[in-house]
Every structure is written in C-alpha cells, then in structure tokens.
C-alpha cells in the first residue's frame, strides 16, 4: 500500500451522472456501448464497469480479450465487444467468456468459422469497415468478397456493422459526412445481400455531441463518459451552432501535497538544466509528483496547479518524481497543503483538456498517462 501523498480520486457519482446525461441525449431507443478500454481511460476498469452495469448500459467496448475476461471475472454480464478483434490463441476466450470480436479481414473470419465449427455453435462478430480512418477495417468498396465468403459459412453470425470516425468534431471539412455516406452504402449492400446486422454503430463521443445523423442503433461514448467534452471546430465565420454542449463533468481529480517550502533569492536557477531562474525573492514549493506519475513533462514552465483555491505556476523542468511550484503569492502555504493537478477548487479549474492544450496533446493521453504507481480512490 502506497503512503506517498500523490493519488487520484474517481467520482463514481459523477460518472453515473455523465452516463445519465448521455442516455437522455441519445434517447432510450439506442443501445449504449461504454468504452472502457485501457483501464477505463485510466479511471479503473472494475469500479467503472460495476457502476455503469448497475445503471443498465447494454454493451462494453474493450481493446482485447484479456480486458474482456477481466470484466467477466468481475461478474459483468453485458455484451462485450473486442474493438481491435482477436489474436491467434484467443478463440477459446471468445466462447468461454462470451466475447464478441471485431472482424476486419477474411483470414480472421476463416479462423472464427473454424473455431465455431469446433465449438459446435455460431460465434457472433461485428464487421469493422474502413470508411476513411485508414486503420483497421474492410475497405468500404471491398465488402462484396467478404460477404461472399461469409455467406458460405455456417458457424459465424454477423451481428454488428461499425466504423470509426477520424474527425467527427471537425466541421471545416466533409470527411465525416463522407464517412457516414460510405457506411450507409455498405449497410445497404448487406441488406441487399440478405444480411441485416442487429447493431449498426458509428458515433464516438464527438459524434454523440455533434452528429445525431450518425447515431444508428448504438453509440460508443468513451471520453465523454469521463467528462472530456470534445471541442468542436466550426467553419470560419459560421454562426450556426454545431453541437449541443452536454453538461458532463470531469470524473477524475489528480491530487498531491506540498512536501517542502523554501525561500529562494532572486537569480537562482531551479531544476534540471537550470531552465528557470527566480526573477525575485520567491517562495518555492516542492510536490511529490512528476512525469513518472503522469504529470506530462511538456508542462514544464507552462503548466499550473491549484493551491488554496488559487492557480500557481509550475516552474523549472518537471522531473521524474518531483515538481516545483512558485507559491510566492500565497504566503500561507505550508508542508502538507493539498495540491490539485487535475480538478477544481474555488474559482480555479484545471481540466484534462486544459493540460492537453498546454502540452500540445489530447485529454485522453493526459488520462492514460497517469501511471499505475498513483493509487486510485473511488468515491461516491
């Protein structure tokens, strides 16, 4: 058990509220697949899944079979989709734990058919179509040969059809509109061939917020569940509202405590490389959190923290285990004072998106960058 005073608090009540907001937004007629891959975006897979399962979510989306097995061993009974498919050797997990793989090649389909024949039962799968993302998926113009192979098989069931948007939040191009058009073209091809998937799904968090035409039978919130509201880019000069801002809030608060405070004369270099030089007589606080904990080193010299309800600057280079803060303007700061690295207090707020913008990355990387050595405390 770690006694180091750096930890993360996960609000399960806020997670539940975010889920309800999304459910009300998309309506009861659509299924929701809660994306909980990568340890629920570093929020703690088991507690997050327990909470969402209790609220009635229909599906969970994970990366791979090992994540799906963890959910089953936790007692999760909802449908589970392996978003990046399965690997050779995973077939037994599919049938033993009732996991549904994404399929994006004829070779995979053949492997699945062989295993279904051996298991003497059909195995469900969701066909992933590449409509423009350019990663995994049968190319949208090359689905016909796949369908011909599928119709010859007896031990697989095409339960779902899905794609993934590259930039659903970006209204400065027609890329997402084109992806939606291509997806519906594939869907119609399947229907003409006598194949009607139970679930068609395209909408990620950004599309849930801004593109209701893409909601289909099911939506896949990921970051939105955890309070990361995607920023929507509209065309320059456009006054047309492009999304409904959903009142989701951050679920995760990243905290630490001051472990040292000292007076430093003007002109003294601080930290690795002496990058920061005190411009005046300063009070400098040290906190036991660094890039090994997930405080991105790119925030060196430009990031902030919240102390006593005020924002204070990070000074010098963030190191592996320690970071320095300039607390000159808060004379009452003492050892043991709580520090918020992600979260809010008083009128100050530091969302994961704020840190991401400072670091030149995305909120999801900020979440996933919080390391395993930082304890998670799930609170109601």
Contact 214, 203 (CB under 8 A): yes
Q: Quick one: CA dihedral 34, 38, 43, 48, positive or negative?
A: positive
Nearest-10 Cα torsion for 68, 69, 75, 76: 10
Tell me which of 37, 128, 187, 255 is the catalytic residue. 37
d(C-alpha 325, C-alpha 314), whole Å? 5
- Say how far apart CA 15 and CA 331 lie, in whole Å: 36
Two structure tokens written together for 193? 């061939």
Looking at 121, 144, 262, 272, which residue is catalytic? 272
Architecture (CATH level 2) of domain 252-379: Beta Barrel (2.40)
For the question of residue 272 being annotated catalytic, the response is: yes
At 97 the three-state DSSP class reads: coil
* Region of 62 on the Ramachandran plot (φ > 0 left; ψ -120 to 50 alpha; else beta): beta
Task: Give the residue from 313, 303, 312 showing the smallest Cα distance to 358.
Answer: 303
Three-class SS of residue 103? strand
Spatial contact of 253 and 345, defined as CB atoms under 8 Å apart: no
Token couple for 16:
């539940």
Give the DSSP H/E element, type plus range, for residue 72.
helix 65-73
Give the pLDDT score at 380: 85
Query: What's the whole-model pTM score?
Result: 0.93
Mention every residue, 6+ apart, whose C-beta is less than 8 A from residue 255.
Answer: 6, 7, 8, 9, 338, 339, 340, 341, 343
Domain map (residue ranges) of the chain: 12-226, 252-379
Alpha helices (runs of H) in the chain, residue ranges in sequence order: 12-26, 37-42, 45-54, 65-73, 91-96, 106-119, 143-151, 175-192, 205-210, 352-359, 363-369
Query: Which pLDDT belongs to residue 235?
Result: 67
pLDDT tens digit string along 87-127?
988 999 999 999 999 999 999 999 999 999 999 999 999 99
- What are 85's two structure tokens? 């498919």
**Separation between Cα atoms, residue 104 and residue 146, nearest integer Å:** 9
Both tokens of 62, joined, read 């994970």
Bridge partners of residue 10, in order along the sequence: 252, 378
Strands 31-35 and 6-11: unpaired
Clarify whether 104 is annotated catalytic.
no
Residue 14 pLDDT: 98
What is the CATH number assigned to the segment(s) 12-226?
Answer: 3.20.20.10
pLDDT at 241: 46
How high is the mean pLDDT in each 10-residue block of the chain (380 residues)? 90 98 97 98 97 98 97 97 93 96 95 94 96 94 94 96 95 95 96 95 96 96 94 65 78 98 97 95 98 97 96 97 97 96 94 95 96 95
Closest C-alpha to 165, from 76, 77, 232, 100: 232
């Amino acid at each position: 058990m770690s006694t180091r005073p750096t930890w993360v608090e996960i609000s399960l009540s806020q997670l539940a509220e975010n889920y309800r907001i999304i459910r009300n937004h998309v309506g009861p007629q659509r299924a929701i697949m809660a994306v909980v891959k990568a340890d629920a975006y570093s929020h703690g897979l088991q507690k997050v899944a327990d909470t969402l399962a209790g609220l009635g979510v229909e599906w969970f989306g994970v990366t791979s079979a090992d994540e799906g097995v963890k959910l089953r061993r936790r007692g999760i009974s909802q449908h589970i989709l392996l978003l990046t498919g399965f690997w050779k050797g995973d077939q037994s997990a599919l049938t033993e734990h009732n996991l549904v793989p994404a399929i994006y090649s004829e070779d995979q389909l053949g492997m699945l058919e062989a295993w279904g024949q051996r298991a003497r039962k059909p195995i469900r799968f969701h066909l992933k179509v590449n409509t423009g993302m350019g990663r995994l998926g049968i190319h949208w113009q090359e689905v016909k040969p796949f369908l011909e192979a599928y119709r010859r098989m007896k031990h697989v069931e095409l339960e779902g059809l899905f794609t993934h948007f590259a930039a659903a939040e970006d209204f400065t191009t027609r890329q997402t509109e084109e992806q939606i058009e291509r997806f519906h073209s594939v869907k119609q091809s399947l229907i003409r061939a006598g194949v009607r998937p139970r679930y068609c799904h395209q909408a990620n968090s950004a599309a849930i917020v801004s593109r209701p035409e893409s909601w289909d039978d099911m939506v896949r919130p990921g970051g939105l569940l955890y309070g990361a509201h995607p920023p929507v880019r509209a065309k320059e000069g456009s006054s047309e509202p492009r999304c409904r801002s959903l009142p989701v809030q951050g679920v995760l608060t990243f905290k630490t405590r001051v472990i040292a405070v000292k007076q430093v004369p003007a002109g003294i270099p601080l930290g690795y490389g002496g990058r920061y030089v005190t411009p005046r007589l300063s009070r400098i606080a040290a906190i036991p959190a660094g890039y090994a904990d997930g405080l991105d080193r790119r925030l060196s010299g430009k990031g902030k923290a919240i102390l006593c309800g005020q924002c204070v600057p990070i000074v010098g280079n963030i190191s592996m285990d320690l970071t320095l803060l300039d607390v000159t303007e808060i004379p009452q700061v003492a050892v043991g004072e709580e520090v918020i690295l992600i979260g809010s207090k008083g009128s100050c707020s530091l969302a994961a998106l704020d840190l991401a913008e400072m670091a030149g990355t995305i909120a999801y990387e900020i979440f996933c960058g919080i390391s395993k050595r930082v304890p998670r405390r799930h609170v109601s």
